[in-house]
Amino acid sequence: MSSSATRLRNDVANLFKASCHPDIVLPSDGPKDLTTITLHLLGPASTPYSEGAWKLTLKLPAEYPHSPPKAFFETKIFHPNVAASTGEVCVDTLKRDWSPNVDLRHVLLVIRCLLIEPNPESALNEDAGKLLLENFADFERMARLMTSVHALKRSAFASANTSSDLSSVTDSADENGNITTIYADLEVDSGRVSSTNTLDTKNVLRPLELTQRGSSAPNPESPSKPSVKNKDVKPKKKVGIKRL
């Protein structure tokens, strides 16, 4: 097997072995094709996309990792860095800044960061980029409107954000979408490729719920306090409305 094929298999296996972030929902049955990864990206909190979810596809070329993957939003989104017609994502990490040391987990975290901080300077959607530069409030309103019309409902994926998922990423990414924490994690992730363990195809296709299984200590239940009725409290008087 060629080194490119081995690296591809290892990166896909590593992606499904551990969750990137609660907002990145991978299919539980693993990828059907190692060159095409389809998942769902949930809108980060405190952004115009917070109520939505989008189907996202990564297409990996035969030359990966020497050539970058391409990312496409299959669900329509109003965003400067996403082409309105094709859904192609434009980000420097997948273009001029691509490095073979970047892995798929890093790529997905960078795309999530685009929903927090769009870059109008490399806009594929010129209307969105122009609106973002000229009037941010109007951009937010349009992004929210398009999210409500076209996006999937984030609430439909609430079951994916279990306590074990959150515990696995506490040290790497803030659940509130803190951009500083995310980029700190990307720096760590970029160095993990060289230490990736080789996994066979059976492990690559192992269901997500089996490979991400974790445990967290339950919080002790606080004792319930008996309700106390204050007999000295007088009932509020009903205020009637006089008709003229």
In a domain, 223, yes or no: no
Identify whether 90 is a catalytic site residue.
yes
* Residue 42 pLDDT greater than 60, yes or no: yes
**For the chain, what is the domain count?**
1
Between 1 and 175, the higher pLDDT residue: 1
pLDDT band at 110 (very low <50, low <70, confident <90, very high): very high
pLDDT tens digits for range 76-89: 999 999 999 999 99
> What is the per-residue pLDDT for 29?
82
* Residue 148 pLDDT greater than 70, yes or no: yes
In a domain, 230, yes or no: no
Query: Considering the chain, what percentage of its residues have pLDDT values greater than 90?
Result: 55
> What is the per-residue pLDDT for 139?
98
Buried b (16+ CB within 10 A) or exposed e, 175-197: bebeeeebeebbeebeeebeebe
pLDDT tens digits for range 162-183: 333 332 332 233 333 333 322 2
- Domain residues for the domain of 196 are 3-201
What is the rounded distance in angstroms from the CA atom of residue 133 to the CA atom of residue 119?
10
Contact (CB, 8 A) for 73 and 56: yes
In a domain, 139, yes or no: yes
Please report, for residues 47, 49, 107, 109, 174, the alpha-carbon distance to residue 152 in angstroms, rounded to integers and kept in the order given. Answer: 16, 11, 22, 20, 23
Phi, psi of 96 (to 5 degrees): -70, -25
In a domain, 118, yes or no: yes
What is the rounded distance in angstroms from the CA atom of residue 100 to the CA atom of residue 95?
12
In a domain, 80, yes or no: yes
> What is the per-residue pLDDT for 112?
97
What is the rounded distance in angstroms from the CA atom of residue 117 to the CA atom of residue 17?
28
Phi, psi of 23 (to 5 degrees): -80, -5
Joined tokens for residue 160 = 């994916």
What is the rounded distance in angstroms from the CA atom of residue 200 to the CA atom of residue 37?
18
Phi, psi of 73 (to 5 degrees): -85, 115
> What is the per-residue pLDDT for 2?
78
In a domain, 214, yes or no: no
pLDDT band at 142 (very low <50, low <70, confident <90, very high): very high
In a domain, 62, yes or no: yes
| Average pLDDT rounded to a whole number, residues 200-211 | 31
* Residue 57 pLDDT greater than 90, yes or no: yes
> What is the per-residue pLDDT for 55?
97
> What is the per-residue pLDDT for 1?
64
In a domain, 89, yes or no: yes
Average pLDDT for the chain: 73
Question: 17-26, 38-47, 61-70, 138-147: which range is least confident on average?
Answer: 17-26
Please report, for residues 160, 163, 164, the alpha-carbon distance to residue 217 in angstroms, rounded to integers and kept in the order given. Answer: 19, 10, 10
Reported pTM: 0.66
* Catalytic position from the list 26, 34, 58, 90: 90
> What is the per-residue pLDDT for 85?
95
What is the rounded distance in angstroms from the CA atom of residue 85 to the CA atom of residue 98?
24
Residue 92: CATH number of its domain: 3.10.110.10
> What is the per-residue pLDDT for 158?
67
Question: 107-121, 140-154, 191-205, 221-235: which range is least confident on average?
Answer: 191-205
